[in-house]
Amino acid sequence: MKLAWKEMKRTKSKFFIFGLIIVLISFLTFMIAGLAKGLSQDNASLIRELPKGTFYMTSEAEDNYTFSNMTTEQVAQYQSEENGFTALSIQMGMLYNAAGEQQSVAFVKTSSSELFPQVQPYEIILDASLKEEGMQIGDRLTSNQLEGEWKVVGFSEETKFNHAPVAFIHPDQFQEMYRTTDVQLLFSPQKEVLGLDGLTAYSKKEFLNTIPSYQAEQLSLNMIVWFLVVISGLLFAIFFYMMNTQKVGLYGVLKAIGVKTTTLFVMMWTQMLLISVIALSVSLLGSQLFQSIAPVGMPFYLTISNTVALAGVFLIIGFIGATVSGFQIKKIAPLQAIQQGER
């Protein structure tokens, strides 16, 4: 530790520049990870906020919930086989306020359940993001598909689907608008998968991946995140390789006076750890500060636990990169290195 710190003070400009690069790369990684999580929430928080469980849709739908249709008789039959099922249907549509301004929403009807808000006929509960659009409790809303009007009776948190705020409506109004009493999905909070004829079971993660826009967004953004993580590992390997090459003579002298190879590795790992912890701490604070000042409409969501987990991955990758670059230390012969001199 002492030897590592002395060397860092002696060549502080090199370590400062390298640390700054790690700060920039890790901060960019945290930002993209936050954007990926934010888009995930904006796209499917209605599903993501549910407890772990199992979704069921008809096998003929071929992983597309919009093609899944279960009659009320089928739903009643399935529910009798397993208590705890919640019937769920989602359709995109438009709302209009008293001024005639339109708002795209995802209309949702559910059976009686503690997992979703429940409304009475001609009542509506909206996602809280619509407060930013000026909607308030008591507002009257209409739709081209509905003869009457809804009264806003409340707002729900983190309920979006397909990048649109969710509007919970009564099944009677859903039937009037879409001319069907069929149900698209069944959800059970139990993880145990039931073998139900004609239905295919999905975990929450599997169901999210059946949403085309969700899968495409997350795949591309997560690929960028992991690509940046790999780049950081390569940077550690290149930096310490170049540092070790410049210190061949010094390592030769240290080995000649009895310093063990493991001690030199510990020195290198200590330097890696100090740089990483300082750089990642700066990036972590910067990303959390950005989240606190980010515009309300920006899909950015990065929890402390997610950030710390990603920082842990950076440390592991950095350790591997530094260790790989340090294998050359084992090959240094004291006499040959001293003759070669420190370059």
What is the pLDDT at residue 82? Answer: 56
**Average pLDDT of every residue of the chain:** 84
> What confidence score (pLDDT) does residue 274 get?
87
**Considering the entire predicted model, what is its pTM?**
0.78
pLDDT at residue 104 tops 90: yes
| Domain assignment of residue 67, yes or no | no
CA 343 to mean position of chain CA atoms: 46
Domain annotation covers residue 174: no
pLDDT in tens, 13-42: 877 888 888 888 889 888 888 888 888 888
On whether residue 277 sits in a domain, the answer given is yes
DSSP of 17-56, one letter per residue? Answer: HHHHHHHHHHHHHHHHHHHHHHHHHHHHHHHHTSPS-EEE
Who contacts 303 (Cβ-Cβ below 8 Å, separation ≥6)?
37
Let me know if 274 is exposed, middle or buried by CB neighbors in 10 A (0-12, 13-18, 19+): middle
The whole-number pLDDT of residue 22 equals 86
Residue range 263-296, pLDDT digits in tens: 877 888 888 888 889 988 999 999 889 888 887 7
The candidate with the shortest Cα–Cα distance to 25, out of 321, 327, 325, is: 321
Measuring CA to CA, which residue among 203, 179, 200 is closest to residue 190? Answer: 203
Residue 294 lies in a domain: yes
Residue 204 resides in a domain: no
Share of the chain above pLDDT 70, in %: 91
Distance of CA 259 to the CA centre of its chain: 46
- Is pLDDT of 343 > 90? no
Grade residue 339 by pLDDT with cuts at 50, 70 and 90: low
Domain tally for the chain? Answer: 1
Query: Is the distance from CB of 100 to CB of 58 less than 8 angstroms?
Result: no
CA distance 182 to 170: 14
- Residue range(s) defining the domain that contains residue 224: 2-44+214-340
Domain membership of residue 227 (yes or no) is yes
Could you give the C-alpha distances from 338 to 241, 279, 288, in angstroms and in order? 19, 34, 49
CB 183 within 8 A of CB 50: no
DSSP 231-296: HHHHHHHHHHHHHHHHTHHHHHHHHHTT--HHHHHHHHHHHHHHHHHHHHHHHHHHHHHHHHHS-T
302 near 37, Cβ under 8 Å? yes
Which has more confidence, 247 or 32?
32
pLDDT digit string, tens, across residues 155-187? 999 899 988 999 999 999 999 999 988 999 999
Strand, coil or helix: 322: helix
Contact in structure between 164 and 106 (CB atoms under 8 Å): yes
Query: Is the pLDDT confidence value at 240 over 70?
Result: yes
Cα–Cα distance for residue pair 279/30, rounded to 1 Å: 12
Structure tokens at 304: 């402390």
For 84-120, give the DSSP string. Answer: T-EEEEEEEEEEE-TT--EEEEEEEEE-S-TTS----
**Does any domain span residue 261?**
yes
Lowest mean pLDDT among 90-104, 109-123, 299-313: 299-313
Rounded CA gap, 52 and 77, in Å? 23
Task: Assess if residue 274 is contained within a domain.
Answer: yes
Q: Reply yes or no on whether the pLDDT at 106 is more than 60.
A: yes
Confidence of residue 227 (pLDDT cuts 50, 70, 90): confident
